[in-house]
């Protein structure tokens, strides 16, 4: 087996292990039923997207003011969480900075 093929196999094994670890940890995640609500005034996807986008500033503000929260509870559950995740990763620059390749 060539060194390059061995390196590719090692890279795949690490990625598979990381994926398995993420799946294992996500199996432990749950949401308290009291944190999920439905109605017109309950934050949903779009509020989750906004809250994810402003997360860095809200987090800094929460260090100085106990009335500032970085995550709305109660919310609509999965859709709010999805919007929050997209707001942090896509709009917040998380995926942009992670996609940069290291220069050789």
Q: How many CA atoms lie within 13 A of 42 on its CB side?
A: 15
The SS3 of residue 1 is coil
The SS3 of residue 21 is helix
d(CA 53, CA 45): 12
pLDDT digits (tens, 9 = 90+) for 21-64: 888 887 776 656 656 677 778 888 999 999 999 998 999 999 99
Taking alpha carbons only, the member of 40, 38, 25 closest to residue 78 is 38
pLDDT digits (tens, 9 = 90+) for 6-33: 666 678 888 889 888 888 887 776 656 6
Radius of gyration of the chain from its Cα atoms, rounded to whole angstroms: 19
């Amino acid at each position: 087996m060539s060194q390059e093929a061995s390196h590719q196999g090692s890279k795949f094994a690490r990625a598979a292990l990381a994926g398995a670890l993420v799946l294992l940890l996500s199996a432990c995640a749950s949401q308290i039923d009291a944190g999920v609500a439905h109605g017109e005034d309950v934050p949903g996807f779009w509020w989750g997207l906004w809250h994810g986008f402003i997360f860095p500033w809200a987090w800094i503000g929460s260090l100085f003011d106990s009335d500032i929260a970085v995550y709305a509870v109660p919310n609509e559950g999965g859709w709010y969480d999805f919007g929050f995740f997209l707001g942090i990763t896509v709009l917040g620059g998380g995926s942009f900075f992670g996609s940069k390749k290291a220069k050789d």
